[in-house]
A and B are shown apart, each in its own frame.
Chain A
Amino acid sequence: MWDRHFTTPPFAMVEIALDTPLEPLAFAEGINGAHVLVRFRDRPVGRFWLSRALHGDVVPIDTLQTHVDHVFDAGFGAAFLDDLAPARTPEPAPAITIAICTRDRPALLRRCLEALVERRDQATRAAVDLVVVDNAPSDSGTRDAVADFPSVRYVVEPVPGLNFGRNRALVEAKGDWLGFIDDDAIPDRGWLDALIEGIADSPTAGGFAGPIMPMMLETEAQMRFERSGGFGKGFQFKRFARERYGDPFHPTGQGNFGTGASMVFSAHVMREIGGFDEALDTGPPLPGGGDSDSFYRVIRAGHPVIYLPGLMVHHEHRRDMPGLRKQYYSWGLSNGALLGKTKARDPQMFKLQRRTLATYVVQRAKRLVFSLAGRGPLTPRLNWAELAGALAGCLGEYERSQKRVSLRKAEKDA
């Protein structure tokens, strides 16, 4: 029952600032609820959900206040932190390359580039260089789109596969820091500032990640995905070093570190550990997990990965249910495949990785059982897709993927 109020699209995207007085929120015609992002001093500190069915056509201030109070201490803490140690600018200004790996989606790319170019042009504290990596294009759409932005570099990576694209970006990167933003996302207005401050605060970091918020919630697939957690990993500052207090699965909880839609690496560290694993993130139905795996390897190499709440992007989630099912399958597949990868490359962590996977499978199986009883935001089919993916993934998927990828490379070379 409860979930139904929050899975019927469309939902409005609303923003509330802790530092301005609240106003009653009226839903427009045909809107079933709202996803509310809470900011303090323009930085994201939390979010909550409102449903028209539960809260009425106009949400009064009192109701909003109760919700806001739940994330209130984050704003209070942010204010305290600003008092204790105001944010600094790194000296010298960091050189940042931001890469967008894309394939045949010129409309989405254009939207992303518009936002990025705007942020870049406002940035005074860093030298930012933008690159579009066109991955095995089938037409000239991407090239034409990039041509409209004279300050954006365009490179082609002929071998299909996201991590081939990322490795190409690593070759092309001029800066010390290499950021990635998905073509179906746009960076938040504070993205670059958050990154610059993050670099100043954590000069020894090997990578940064940030929250992925929905850009719009217009379809059932988008609602279900976001309600089940989506890509969101919260608004807490997190630091993943070699060890992590209170986390028995660290560092094998690969899924916790961040998401590829908003991530930044130290180019130097990335080159040192040999770039991105080309057998991962080769595009569905092959396993994803290239982002989680690179964070993992950065951490294992002794460089902390920092999760910055300010490094937020707004992502356009899959609109259709079959697409969402594929995505869940691919998630399961990559989580399973990481087991094979750890066994081959990092045997020391194999036992822990197995425990992580076992916990994950048990948790998803539980979710499947609940969804059969009609509970939770996901349908049984979606839950099953992820579970099936995980099972298929741990049965030699990594090795299969490696084989496929080497074939692909050989094909291109020939």
Chain B
Amino acid sequence: MIPKAPWKIMNVSLDAAPDMIDRPDACRAVLVLLWFKGAYLGRLELSAGEFPLHRREFLKLAVQAVQPALPALVSSGETYLSAVSVHAARTFPEDIRSVSTNDVSQRIERMMDWRTARRSNLSATIAICTANRPGPLRACLKSLEAEIDAGREILVIDNAPSPRTQAIVAEFGGTRYVPEPKRGLSNARNTALAEATAEIVVFVDDDVRPEPGWIDPLLAAFETDRVAVVCGLVLPLKLETDAQVGFEFCFGFGGMGVVPLRFDREFCHFARTAIPVWDIGAGANMAIRRSTALKLGGFDERIGPGAAGGCGDDSEFWYRALSSGHEARYEPLSVVRHVHRADWTDLRQQARGYFKGHLVALFAQFAYDRDWRNLRQAFFDLPKWIIGRLISRALWRYTGEDMFHYAVLSGDVVRGYLFGLTYLGWALVRPPTQGRVTQNEPR
């Protein structure tokens, strides 16, 4: 049973947990984000009635919540673990097994020290794509002040050009305002790719608040020239309304792990269904190597918010990058906080958009490389998943698996899926926009 809003979000560092963890005021449940030496280790959900907790009670619950990922995290050491190994059987290297002789916390600490000390000399442009959301944009720019002061190139792509947005951008010296009247997030992102001058373009949605220093781990993850995409961790900023709780537990970024991952050729081949590119991360916190993006023709402008579907533009691009031999990384040290939509109508729209966008992206991906697994996902696995959800919606009283948000949203999920089906034709034609953003000089 997922308690309804309001939730509180608590950040607790395991190495400095207080003696007593009291119940936060006015909430039904608490999402505890667990940290250790500055690294995200996982999350723990607690009902309000479970408080107060004594220190070791809390630590026992917390460690239990994070321990499934611990062996993989420690064994990743100074590398990125292959994403396939996460799906495969649980096997551990020999030195991890001799856990008794090793100090676990020291090993994690050493690893984190090494990871956080890495610095890349790649240059980066930060691109914020926005449309008619002056409030969130201002908050986002505020959280970027350290980067502005450091003289980093910051672009604000206004996808619904208005003097209001322009005025906000003008408040922050050192940022550049770029209007892009043609609607669509993919258009805006392509504009950013064309306008940027640095090697790496870091995309930040207007509804996220990057943590200070989130950019360094992203850049450091571009270890080799083959790495085209790096995604970071997205955590919720607040869960104050039912819509925000619903988003977090149905469409949220909750599945984002704590282990740094490598997505490569092997990853393209292991799955029986479509390549699970959505595992890589979220477009809300991603960095892209500009030269590779330009070579691949940028984002598909038919897909994504403002065009067909409410998502899929980013994952479709990752798909092309991976299947053309490039690699991707997931870097959990890079943290942004996301403000979920507060309004239930927005969430319903998002539910429709997500499923439509997912399907549209699958069709476009099939057109790109004729990989039948995309259609298998579209016509077999996805319907199967949806039907499963509908059944558990009908039975939740008896199974105890109460997904109240899914129950409410399943109508929208089905509608989104059906909308998506109308784009089946895209599976047959090559995308017309391939190669649109190829010029290196700014327009």
Contacts and interface: CB of A to CB of B under 8 A. Distances in A.
B3 A359 contact: no
A362 B400 CA distance: 12
Nearest to A75: B99
Interface string A59-94: 000000110011011111111110111011000000
A242 interface: yes
Given A80-B63, A245-B46, A359-B400, A73 B71 contact: yes
Contact of A73 (B68, B103, B398): B68
Contacts of B97: 65, 72
Contacts of B102: 79
B47 A73 contact: no
Interface stretch (A201-209, A260-268, A391-399): A201-209
Contacts of B121: none
Contacts of A77: 63-64, 66-67, 70
B91 A69 contact: yes
Contact of B47 (A65, A80, A87, A245): A245
Interface in A15-41: 18-19, 40-41
A18 B1 contact: no
A65 B50 CA distance: 37
Given A19-B99, A81-B63, A204-B54, A76 B45 contact: no
B71 A72 contact: yes
A246 B30 CA distance: 12
A73 B57 contact: no
- The 5 closest A-B CB pairs, nearest first, are A243-B49, A77-B67, A19-B100, A83-B105, A243-B47
A5 B373 CA distance: 39
Contact of B56 (A73, A85, A241, A246): A85
A80 B99 CA distance: 10
Contacts of B67: 73-74, 76-77, 80
Contacts of A359: 398-400
26 contacts: A65-B97, A72-B99, A74-B67, A76-B71, A76-B99, A77-B63, A77-B66, A79-B104, A83-B103, A83-B105, A83-B106, A84-B14, A84-B63, A85-B55, A201-B60, A202-B57, A239-B61, A241-B47, A241-B49, A241-B50, A243-B47, A244-B47, A244-B49, A245-B3, A245-B45, A355-B398
Contacts of A242: 49-50
Nearest to B49: A243
A358 B63 contact: no
Interface in B377-409: 397-400, 402
B307 interface: no
A85 B59 contact: yes
B90 interface: yes
A200 B56 CA distance: 9
Contacts of A85: 17, 55-56, 59
Contact of B105 (A40, A80, A202): A80
Residue with the highest number of chain A CB atoms closer than 10 Å, among B56, B90, B106, B399: B56
B278 interface: no
B48 A243 contact: yes
B59 to A, nearest CB: 5
Interface in A199-231: 200-204
A18 B17 CA distance: 28
Contacts of A355: 397-398
B369 interface: no
A247 B1 contact: yes
B170 to A, nearest CB: 46
Given A19-B100, A87-B56, 14 more contacts: A41-B100, A73-B67, A73-B68, A76-B104, A79-B104, A80-B108, A81-B60, A83-B105, A85-B59, A200-B56, A201-B57, A201-B60, A246-B2, A359-B398
B15 interface: yes
Contacts of B275: none
Contacts of A201: 54, 56-57, 60
A246 B54 CA distance: 21
A84 B59 contact: yes
A394 to B, nearest CB: 16
B29 interface: yes
Interface string A316-357: 000000000000000000000000000000000000000100
Contacts of B100: 18-19, 40-41, 79
Contacts of A75: 99
Interface in B98-118: 99-100, 102-106, 108
Interface of B: 1-3, 14-15, 17, 29, 45-51, 53-57, 59-61, 63-64, 66-68, 70-71, 74, 89-92, 96-97, 99-100, 102-106, 108, 397-400, 402
A370 interface: no
Contacts of B71: 72-73, 76
A204 B99 CA distance: 33
A72 B29 CA distance: 30
A70 B71 CA distance: 11
Contacts of B59: 81, 84-85
Nearest to B2: A246
B51 to A, nearest CB: 8
A271 B320 CA distance: 68
A70 B61 contact: no
Contacts of B91: 69
A248 interface: yes
Contacts of A84: 14-15, 17, 59, 63, 105
B249 to A, nearest CB: 11
Nearest to B396: A248
Nearest to A308: B60
B103 A239 contact: no
Given A83-B105, A236-B64, A249 B70 contact: no
A239 B53 CA distance: 10
Contacts of B47: 241, 243-245
Contacts of B17: 84-85
Of A76, A355, A362, the most chain B CB neighbours within 10 A belong to A76
A201 B67 CA distance: 20
B104 A80 contact: yes
Given A246-B1, A249-B400, A362-B398, A202 B49 contact: no
A65 B100 CA distance: 16
A340 B61 CA distance: 34
Contact of A248 (B64, B90, B108, B400): B400
Most buried by B among A80, A241, A249: A80
A85 B49 CA distance: 24
Nearest to A79: B104
Contacts of B29: 245
A358 B1 CA distance: 17
Given A77-B70, A201-B56, A243 B90 contact: no
Contacts of A40: 99-100
Nearest to A86: B56
